[in-house]
Amino acid sequence: MTTMLQIAGVVAGYDGSDVLKSVDMTVETGSITCIVGPNGAGKSTVLKTISGLLRPRLGTITFLDKPIQGFSPRAVLETGIVQVAQNHSLFNEMTVQENVRLGAYLLNDRARIDRALAEVEDLFPIVHERAHEKAGNLSGGQQRLVEFARCLMLNPKLILLDEPSMGLDPRTLKAVFDTVKMMQASGRTILLVEQNVKTGLGASTHGVVMESGKVRLTGSSAEILHHPEIGHLYLGGTLEDANTAEGSPPASTSAPAAQR
């Protein structure tokens, strides 16, 4: 496997205070890499630093052997990285189709945009079915699909997903992760953030555990899932709890966010 994205010694934060304190991680080409960690660990901040929404103070981010740290969001998009933000990231007042078209804002070739739209409509029928409805009127799960559709418009190489499972019922959640796998199967690399250790790592090939702005563990997702330390680090209990709680996800949000 080759490395698609490499983050080395990244320090970044908001308004002068550092949230990420020297973060190192790699994302292998073709993998689904999952970042897990308690609230406030800096997971979203890592994604924002990659996508250019936040400039790192120190460190390097290398994508396909080229440095991209400090790039504008637009320049990052141009390299082939797209981000789906945490929370509802659609434009509520705009129609579903307008939202999806915005995913191809960088492109100038109208025919190419139309072609990309037709392709994502094939993958996500909802984009066609609800094309002229306000995006804000869709349910949470439907909005997620439209977000996925939008992020595929640029035919990205690397997709950053921030908590795709948030607020979804188990059935919808499964469908969302199936979609993530489908995107991987079509040749894309995925870096996602998950609160829910079991669901997240279960659907991934690689895992990264973060805590207090630092990376604590990296490895294959199976290694991470069975690492004895993760229970202590993250769940405040043992991993056995997580494994035996069949069906109901571990109560990750109740884990104390100690680093605040």
Q: Which stretches of the chain bind other proteins, using CB under 8 A?
A: 51, 53, 73-74, 77-78, 83, 85, 89, 91-94, 98, 101-103, 105-106, 108, 123-126, 129-130, 133-134, 137-139, 141-142, 145, 169, 171-172, 175-176, 178-179, 181-182, 185
- Shortest CB 16 distance to ligand ATP, Å: 10
Pairing of strands 189-194, 206-211: unpaired
Core vs surface per residue 229-245: b (16+ CB within 10 A) or e: ebbebbbeeebeebeee
- If one asks whether residue 42 binds ligand ATP (CB under 6 A), the answer comes out as yes
Q: Are 125 and 159 in contact (CB under 8 A)?
A: no
- If one asks whether residue 41 binds ligand ATP (CB under 6 A), the answer comes out as yes
What gap in Å lies between CA 156 and CA 50, rounded to an integer? Answer: 14
For residues 41 and 113, which CB has a smaller minimum distance to ligand ATP in the complex? 41
Q: Which option in ligand ATP, other proteins, Mg ion, none does residue 226 bind, with CB closer than 5 to 8 A by kind?
A: none
For residues 6 and 86, which CB has a smaller minimum distance to Mg ion in the complex? 86
Q: Which option in ligand ATP, Mg ion, other proteins, none does residue 182 bind, with CB closer than 5 to 8 A by kind?
A: other proteins
CB-based contacts of 121: which residues, under 8 Å, 6+ apart? Answer: 127, 128, 149
What gap in Å lies between CA 166 and CA 86, rounded to an integer? Answer: 8
Q: Which option in Mg ion, other proteins, ligand ATP, none does residue 160 bind, with CB closer than 5 to 8 A by kind?
A: none
What gap in Å lies between CA 260 and CA 258, rounded to an integer? Answer: 6
Find the part of the chain contacting ligand ATP (CB under 6 A) among 23-31, 32-40, 102-110, 129-137. 32-40
For residues 142 and 196, which CB has a smaller minimum distance to other proteins in the complex? 142
Q: Which option in Mg ion, other proteins, ligand ATP, none does residue 14 bind, with CB closer than 5 to 8 A by kind?
A: ligand ATP
H or E, element range at 34: strand 32-36
- If one asks whether residue 43 binds ligand ATP (CB under 6 A), the answer comes out as yes
Full strand arrangement of the beta sheet holding 189-194: 81-84, 158-162, 189-194, 32-36, 206-211, 214-220
CB-based contacts of 105: which residues, under 8 Å, 6+ apart? Answer: none
Question: φ, ψ for residue 82 (rounded to 5)?
Answer: -120, 155
- If one asks whether residue 189 binds ligand ATP (CB under 6 A), the answer comes out as no
Q: Which option in Mg ion, ligand ATP, other proteins, none does residue 114 bind, with CB closer than 5 to 8 A by kind?
A: none
- If one asks whether residue 205 binds ligand ATP (CB under 6 A), the answer comes out as no
Where does residue 67 fall: left (phi above 0), alpha (psi -120 to 50 degrees), or beta otherwise? Answer: beta
Site for ligand ATP (CB under 6 A): which residue of 3, 26, 39, 95? 39
DSSP state letters, 113-175 = HHHHHHHHHHH-HHHHHTTTSBGGGS-HHHHHHHHHHHHHTT--SEEEEE-TTTT--HHHHHH
- Shortest CB 63 distance to other proteins, Å: 16
- Which of positions 30-89 make contact with Mg ion (CB under 5 A)? 44, 86
Site residues (CB under 6 A) for ligand ATP?
14, 19, 37, 39-45, 86, 195
